Amino acid sequence: MPDTALSMLVAGGSVLQFGDTGLAVAETLVAAVVLYFGYVLLTLVFGAFVVLVAGDRVRRLDRRIRASPLRASGFGAATLLASLAGFVLVGVGVILLVERGAPEPLALLLILPFLGGALAVLVVTAVGELIAGLWLLRAVKNHPEPSLWAALAVGAVFVNMAYLVPGLNLLVGLATVAVPVGGLVDGWWERR
């Protein structure tokens, strides 16, 4: 073992060495922490925008989801699956068109649906954090209509802390997106 290496005994008796890569590991860790807190800040900014622009709509959506959480979850899961299928179909369609002779820059159009999808996921995640915050504040304070600002703070902390727990992160992440989307689709479905 080199003298400059920092080694650590891990489960199974194997030795993990951090020699010259110690700096790279530290840089990667710092980058991960910065990206994580950047994402938290981004969802808070989007959440503040949602509170300012559509606070009443968020409250109506919350009431709809509370009235029928399983229905909202089902509509949300179906919508997410249909959206994923739509992204795949558009991608395959564009690739086939390019292979059949369409200009190659046509493939750059694939960026638009993915950017739109990423923006939609950020907004819906912010709404999901608001809904989670409202539910948590009601459970803790037993207050029928908690502040949307407090709900945003509590929901953002809860959801983003849950993202750090392996296994729970996937469940919370899907619920944070699927339930609000399902509540919106449920409302559109009833009004059709």
Tell me how far apart the alpha carbons of residues 54 and 57 are, in angstroms, rounded to a whole number: 5
Helix (H) or strand (E) holding 184: helix 168-191
Q: What is the pLDDT of residue 106?
A: 80
Q: What is the pLDDT along the chain (192 residues), one digit of tens a residue?
A: 444 444 444 444 444 455 556 567 778 888 888 988 998 999 999 999 999 999 999 999 999 999 999 999 999 999 999 999 998 998 898 889 888 888 888 878 888 888 988 899 999 999 999 999 999 999 987 777 899 999 999 999 999 999 889 999 999 999 999 999 999 999 998 888
CA 36 vs. chain centroid, Å, equals 12
Crossing angle (nearest 10°) for helices 168-191 and 111-141: 100
Q: What is the pLDDT of residue 4?
A: 42
Contacts of 108 (CB under 8 A, 6+ apart): none
Core vs surface per residue 106-141: b (16+ CB within 10 A) or e: eeeebeeeeeeeeeebbbbbbbbbbbbbbbbbbeee
Tell me how far apart the alpha carbons of residues 19 and 25 are, in angstroms, rounded to a whole number: 10
Question: Under a CB-based contact definition with an 8 Å cutoff, are residues 179 and 69 in contact?
Answer: yes
Strand partners, 132: none
Q: What is the pLDDT of residue 22?
A: 59
Burial of residue 191, with CB atoms counted within 10 A of its CB: 0-12 exposed, 13-18 middle, 19 or more buried: exposed
Q: Say how many C-beta atoms besides its own lie within 10 A of residue 18's C-beta.
A: 15
Q: Which of 44, 74, 63 is nearest to 150 (CA)?
A: 44
Q: What is the pLDDT of residue 31?
A: 86
